[in-house]
Amino acid sequence: MNHNARWLALALGLTLAGMTHAHSFAPATGARAPDDTYLWLEDIDGNRAMDWVKQQDATTVGDYAQSPAFKQLDARLLEVLDSNARIPFVQKLGDYYYNFWRDKAHPKGLWRRTTLAEYRKPEPAWETVLDIDALAAAEHENWVWHGAQCLKPEYRRCLVSLSRGGADADVVREFDLADKAFVKGGFELPEAKSQVAWADQDHIFVGTDFGPGSMTESSYPRIAKLWTRDTPLADATTVYEGKPKDLAISAYRDLTPGYERSFVQRALAFYDSESYLLGKDGKLTRIDVPDDAESSVEREWLLVEPRSDWQVGGKTYKAGSLLAANFDDYMAGKREITVLFEPTESTALAGYSWTRQHLILNVMDDVVNKLEVLTPTPGAWKRQPLGGAPALSSIDAGGIDEDDSDDYFLTVTGFLQPTTLYYGTLGKGDAEAIKHSPAFFDASKYQVSQHFVRSKDGTRVPYFEIAPKQLTLDGTNPTLQYGYGGFEIALLPSYSGSIGRAWLEQGGVYVIANIRGGGEYGPRWHKAALKAHRLRAYEDFAAVSEDLVRRRVTSPKHLAAMGGSNGGLLMGNMLTLYPHLYGAIVSQVPLLDMKRYTHLSAGASWMAEYGDPDKPAEWAWIRSFSPYQNVQPGEHYPPVLFTTSTRDDRVGPAHARKMAAKMQAMGYDADFYENIEGGHGGAADNKQSAFMHALEYTWLWQHVK
């Protein structure tokens, strides 16, 4: 497993990184702008700030969430999210297949398991392992499931993470899968942004809030320790201590039978890290790959994904490649490297997954997937195709148990194609379809097309369009354009019953813009919009909008835009830089105050993406994409809705609060809604999620129909 990716997953997404505690937060210090009259809204739980939030929520709900149409849409979206016909995706742990499931009867969720034989049935029999609703009721806490790490190969003991209200900060408790109960006197950590991993049954690696100075400036653990069972946490042995400006420090043990090894990961910045092999004597030996490369170790293999061209052993390997070497030989100094994938102008690596004897590659070609199976053999790697996605759809495959089998799950999905889950064994014929997601809307009325447009600098930018088959090109179609454009995340075709019901069925056109900053064409596509080049992402999004108008799909009056997190920053810039292109904008859990973002929540984590506003030279270009500073009176901005969550301890609600308050004071049409729970996802359960989406789509329809 690539454990650096674990930290990146915490810090982005359609999510971003967070601070240590969310329940009591005073305004951050540093980079205070003397003319910022809305600093008081940074006091997350302060009485004045919360009174303002409650008043804003009441106004927005009163205006948009009281009509019969809203209530019908809310119910229909909740029906999608709570549907018992959804595919229950599983993870194999030992002899069982585990699933976490939320529905109407279990809004907080059930951790449950079944056997493979049962899982293959249309209606599997499930055994409940942990009922989060019952636990929350018994402990009078609003617990939100954050997952579990289980100790192999027995898979009896697990480290379960639970969050209060959906914040990233969580508590960790040891759980016994045989007893289906928490272990009395077992490993347990109080609420913090912790990193934990099993070393063996009586030891865990732990990074947490050990006290003042133990967290990085990005609010992740700065110190990794080895903690022995039945001893105080204060007695845990330090394995590695990083610097305050590091992003995060973590340690873990690969427990693959026959290949047990311990590692330390020092994340220097968002895209730079150092990995070390931890010897039994405590000595650290660095894995000598570039700081900006992703690396992972599986059995005898080291895999490396360089993000920049890499010269080693007299050869140059392209950025975005996937390279393989024998791990022990590499650590001994040999540089015999095999290229498993090399990108082209239209292709990029979407991901990979191991089975016991094979490696499955997922490659994007103009944002459409195809799969390939690689098998290491003496002197070479054998290659054979596993399959490609249907036109303008997505396909993905992953090994089920890389230690013991070549079994794999494969999914196929598309904008108009409900997800199908296949089960197969590599080398033993085609996979068998075993699960089908239900259709939540009539897809026969619509068609998917892919288009390309030239951005301001001439770069070819793709976008997907989902529209009625009999679309009239007269410029009057309500159109919703979605984008993200950051952190090397690609937006791929996928099925959404919510979008189908809330937008397509109402007569709308839905567009996904694959702009720079994302990962659709690998590292080069991402780097093209980093830091001083950030405006390219916004130019790309504007070019797609202009193309939709040029093609007479829509017109600015009927064109809406929406995005969340980094995509919420994108929306803030479309609002302030390209207001003439849109009739309405929804900015979800956004970054907006780029002058102070490094001092709010975990903003310091993302300086590798945006830059450091405390450095005058960098602020000079960061300011060009800081909506909070760039919004001005006397302009013609389209109506905008900002949505966020009080318990968002990643980006934090201060950005949306301050922007809405500032725009309202200037007399603009700026609505605001803040969910009290939910973390960076905006909602803590399906009911809250359905409400938020119904609110956003109802608001959009009232502005662009």
- The pLDDT tens digits of the residues spanning 298-340 come to 999 999 999 999 999 999 999 999 999 999 999 999 999 999 9
Among 9-13, 137-141, 423-427, the least confident range: 9-13
Q: What pLDDT does residue 378 have?
A: 86
Which tokens belong to 442? 């009539």
Q: What pLDDT does residue 11 have?
A: 37
Q: What pLDDT does residue 503 have?
A: 98
Q: What pLDDT does residue 682 have?
A: 65
Length of the chain, in residues: 705
CA distances (Å), origin 676, targets 150, 167, 325, 680: 32, 11, 49, 11
Which residue out of 358, 526, 599, 680 is catalytically annotated? 680
| Confidence grade of residue 166 (pLDDT, cut at 50, 70, 90) | confident
CA distances (Å), origin 662, targets 60, 71, 332, 407, 598: 17, 31, 59, 55, 20
Q: How far apart are CA 699 and CA 695, in angstroms?
A: 6
Q: What pLDDT does residue 73 have?
A: 98
Q: What pLDDT does residue 679 have?
A: 67
Q: CB within 8 A of 8, min separation 6: which ones?
A: 270, 487
For residue 6, which of 331, 251, 261, 213 has the smallest C-alpha distance? 251
Residue % of the chain over a pLDDT of 90: 89
Residue 296 or 18, more confident: 296
Residue 277 has pLDDT above 60, yes or no: yes
Domain of residue 608, residue span: 55-64+452-704
For residue 690, which of 146, 81, 43 has the smallest C-alpha distance? 81
In a domain, 3, yes or no: no
Which tokens belong to 634? 């006397």
Residue 32 has pLDDT above 80, yes or no: no
For residue 538, which of 568, 589, 511, 573 has the smallest C-alpha distance? 573
Under 8 Å between Cβ of 18 and 680:
yes
| Cis peptide, bond prior to residue 639, ω within 30 of zero | no
Q: How far apart are CA 56 and CA 50, in angstroms?
A: 10
Q: Which element (helix H / strand E) includes 377?
A: strand 368-377
- The pLDDT tens digits of the residues spanning 387-420 come to 777 888 899 999 999 999 999 999 999 999 999 9
CA-derived radius of gyration, the chain? 25
Average pLDDT, the chain: 93
Under 8 Å between Cβ of 619 and 657:
no
Predicted TM-score (pTM) of the model is 0.92
Q: What pLDDT does residue 34 have?
A: 56
Q: How far apart are CA 187 and CA 231, in angstroms?
A: 10
Q: How far is CA 325 from the centre of its chain?
A: 29
How many C-beta neighbours within 10 Å does residue 550 have?
Answer: 10
In a domain, 691, yes or no: yes
In a domain, 200, yes or no: no
Residue 291: strand, helix, or coil: coil
Task: Name the one residue in this structure whose structure tokens are 């739980």.
Answer: 45
Q: What pLDDT does residue 25 have?
A: 30
Q: What is the mean pLDDT of residues 47-51?
A: 97
Q: What pLDDT does residue 297 have?
A: 98
Under 8 Å between Cβ of 683 and 165:
no
Q: What pLDDT does residue 21 have?
A: 26
Q: How far is CA 204 from the centre of its chain?
A: 26
Which tokens belong to 188? 């347990």
Q: CB within 8 A of 167, min separation 6: which ones?
A: 18, 22, 23, 647, 648, 649, 679
Q: How far apart are CA 192 and CA 187, in angstroms?
A: 15
Residue % of the chain over a pLDDT of 70: 94
| Confidence grade of residue 75 (pLDDT, cut at 50, 70, 90) | very high
Q: Which element (helix H / strand E) includes 290?
A: none
Q: What is the mean pLDDT of residues 62-82?
A: 97
Q: Quick one: 234 exposed, middle or buried, by C-beta within 10 A (0-12, 13-18, 19+)?
A: exposed
Question: Hey, which bits of 104-142 come out as E strands?
Answer: 110-114, 127-131
Give, as one character, the DSSP assignment of residue 215: B
Q: How far apart are CA 172 and CA 162, in angstroms?
A: 7
In a domain, 254, yes or no: no
- The pLDDT tens digits of the residues spanning 553-606 come to 999 999 999 999 999 999 999 999 999 999 999 999 999 999 999 998 888 889
How many C-beta neighbours within 10 Å does residue 503 have?
Answer: 23
- The pLDDT tens digits of the residues spanning 236-265 come to 999 999 999 999 999 999 999 999 999 999
| Confidence grade of residue 448 (pLDDT, cut at 50, 70, 90) | very high
Residue 3 has pLDDT above 80, yes or no: no
In a domain, 80, yes or no: no
In a domain, 506, yes or no: yes
Residue 17 has pLDDT above 80, yes or no: no
Residue 291 has pLDDT above 90, yes or no: yes
Strands 127-131 and 284-286, by their bridges, are: unpaired
We report the CATH number of the domain holding residue 625 as 3.40.50.1820
Q: CB within 8 A of 204, min separation 6: which ones?
A: 159, 187, 196, 197, 198, 226, 227
Strands 559-564 and 584-588, by their bridges, are: parallel
Q: How far apart are CA 19 and CA 10, in angstroms?
A: 11
Residue 53 has pLDDT above 60, yes or no: yes
Which tokens belong to 131? 């009922």
Say whether 680 is catalytic: yes
| Confidence grade of residue 198 (pLDDT, cut at 50, 70, 90) | very high
In a domain, 198, yes or no: no
Q: What pLDDT does residue 33 have?
A: 56
Q: CB within 8 A of 291, min separation 6: which ones?
A: 268, 272, 273, 274
Q: In what order do the strands lie in the sheet with 338-341?
A: 294-298, 301-305, 322-326, 338-341
In a domain, 280, yes or no: no
- Considering its fold, how many domains does the chain have in total? 1
Which residue out of 163, 296, 321, 565 is catalytically annotated? 565
Q: CB within 8 A of 466, min separation 6: which ones?
A: 415, 416, 446, 447, 448, 504, 509, 510, 511
Under 8 Å between Cβ of 704 and 613:
no
Under 8 Å between Cβ of 266 and 240:
yes
Question: What single letter denotes the amino acid at residue 694?
Answer: A
Say whether 296 is catalytic: no
Q: Quick one: 425 exposed, middle or buried, by C-beta within 10 A (0-12, 13-18, 19+)?
A: middle
Residue 663 dihedral angles phi and psi, to the nearest 5°:
-70, -40
